[in-house]
């Protein structure tokens, strides 16, 4: 069906722009946000995912204070509107694409939010990742990431959290393509999930992004790193003027909290167009992936509930989890980033066996 975006000369097929190029049910588009207080005392995370071939949009908002989190998880019918994305009581607005986005939650008895994300870095684009298994595509996606600042409030069962651009750090990413679910095929009788290490953040006047992947058998793929200057009148948010310098990444050293997959410190070597840099990461806070729906035992993005909209609340306490259990092997953390005597902040998302 036509939308106002069909007025723009951006068509890549003979279909309207909102028509998926593939009928694969695992076609998706996801927006991810992570905000955390630099002291490590609180964090807010959000995923909003569109599943056009399922007619579904879902979202997971998580608020973490200390070791506890409260979450709001929503599934709804995917509408045709793309100027903003609506999912039950949650709305994502694109006020200035790739520069200013707004998250609103209203009309829910327990949660409300008004959050502004403003980009401070260009959209750092990773190389496209294409993976196949058992003669089928299990991943074909493009992703970009941005650093930013955040202002706003979130009210929920944990109280009112006020975020500001001085004491909080903000990052986000946006990805789209095909992403198969775990155990989605009869041949998936062994663990098939890849391991990965993903970083986005900024230090001084530079944004840094790095990612490594390995298949379940250890075969590496999709390694990528980039550094680029933060936004300024001379630096564009997207395109040739971003100053993005692609390179490689190598994990030199990493230490974990005992019996967990939580990083204490890590040391990365990132290569660029001019020279190599060594980046040291130090953990500031842990954000449990369940809080934003990742690997949640009772809620899964892309699953169509019996009734829509479906709005559910969850809570958790890291102190009550067996963090050595495989279901808790994924780790989201706010980190300090140190490079050449300067300290900045960012987020890591990683999973290892």
> What's the CA angle centered on 185, arms 179 and 189, to 5 degrees?
115
Number of domains in the chain: 1
Are 323 and 334 spatial neighbours (Cβ–Cβ below 8 Å)?
Answer: no
Q: Are 52 and 23 in contact (CB under 8 A)?
A: no
Task: State the burial class of residue 91 (Cβ atoms within 10 Å of its Cβ: 0-12, 13-18, 19+).
Answer: middle
Which range has the top average pLDDT, 42-56, 211-225, 311-325? 42-56
Write down the pTM of the prediction: 0.94
Each residue's pLDDT tens digit, 313-322 = 999 998 898 8
Q: Pick from 72-76, 155-159, 248-252, 256-260 the range whose average pLDDT is largest.
A: 72-76
Highest mean predicted confidence (pLDDT) among 10-19, 43-52, 247-256: 43-52
Print the domain residue range for 307: 4-351
Q: Does the pLDDT value for residue 234 go beyond 90? A: no
Distance CA 216, CA 140 (A): 17
Cα dihedral 291→297→301→305 (10° resolution)? -120
Label residue 178 exposed, middle or buried (CB < 10 Å: 0-12, 13-18, 19+).
buried
Provide mean pLDDT across the span 166-184.
87
Q: What is the CATH number of the domain that holds 70?
A: 2.40.370.10
No. of H helices and E strands in the chain? Answer: 0, 23
Q: What mean pLDDT value characterizes the chain? A: 92
Q: Identify the bridge partners of residue 279 per DSSP, sorted by sequence position.
A: 268
Comparing 50-54, 137-141, 186-190, the range with the smallest average pLDDT is 186-190
**Residue 353's pLDDT band (boundaries 50, 70, 90)?**
low
- Per-residue confidence at 189, pLDDT binned at 50, 70, 90? very low
Average pLDDT over residues 136-141: 86
User: Looking at per-residue confidence, does 21 or 299 come out higher?
Assistant: 299
Beta-carbon count within 10 A of 113 CB:
25
Nearest in space to 145 (alpha carbons), one of 117, 166, 164, 167: 117
Q: Which residue has the higher pLDDT, 23 or 51?
A: 51
| pLDDT tens per residue across span 299-308 | 999 999 999 9
Pick from 15-19, 145-149, 273-277 the range whose average pLDDT is largest: 145-149
Q: In degrees to the nearest 10, what's the CA dihedral of 58, 104, 295, 109?
A: -90
Locate tokens 């062994």: which residue?
190
Residue 210 tokens read as 């790095």
């Amino acid at each position: 069906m036509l939308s106002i975006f069909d007025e723009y000369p951006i068509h890549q097929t003979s279909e309207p722009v909102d028509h998926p190029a593939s009928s694969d049910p695992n076609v998706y588009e996801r927006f991810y946000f992570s905000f955390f207080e630099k002291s490590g005392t609180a964090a807010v995370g959000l995923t909003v995912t569109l599943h056009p071939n399922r007619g579904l949009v879902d979202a997971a908002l998580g608020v973490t204070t200390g070791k506890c989190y409260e979450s709001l998880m929503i599934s709804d019918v995917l509408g045709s509107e793309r100027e903003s994305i609506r999912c039950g009581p949650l709305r994502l607005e694109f006020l200035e694409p790739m520069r200013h986005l707004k998250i609103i939650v209203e009309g829910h008895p327990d949660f409300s939010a008004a959050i502004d994300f403003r980009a401070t870095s260009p959209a750092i684009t990773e190389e496209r990742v294409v993976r196949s298994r058992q003669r089928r595509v299990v991943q074909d996606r493009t992703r970009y990431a941005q650093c930013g600042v955040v202002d706003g409030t979130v009210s929920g069962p944990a109280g009112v959290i006020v975020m500001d651009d001085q004491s909080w750090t903000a990052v986000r990413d946006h990805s789209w393509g095909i992403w198969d679910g775990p155990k989605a095929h009869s041949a998936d009788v062994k663990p098939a999930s890849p391991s990965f290490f993903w970083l986005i953040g900024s230090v001084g006047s530079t944004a840094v992004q790095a990612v490594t992947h390995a298949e379940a058998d250890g075969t590496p793929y999709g390694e990528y790193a980039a550094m680029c200057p933060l936004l300024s009148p001379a630096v564009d948010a997207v395109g040739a003027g971003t100053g993005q310098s692609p390179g490689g990444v190598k994990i030199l050293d990493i230490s974990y909290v005992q019996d967990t997959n939580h990083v204490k410190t890590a040391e990365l070597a990132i290569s660029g167009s001019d020279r190599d840099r060594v980046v040291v990461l130090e953990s500031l806070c842990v954000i449990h992936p369940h809080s934003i729906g990742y690997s949640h035992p009772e809620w899964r993005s892309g699953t169509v509930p019996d009734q829509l909209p479906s709005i559910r609340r969850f809570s958790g306490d890291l102190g009550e989890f067996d963090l050595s259990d495989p279901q808790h092997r994924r780790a989201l953390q706010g980190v300090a980033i140190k490079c050449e005597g300067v300290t900045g902040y960012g987020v890591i998302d990683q999973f290892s066996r």
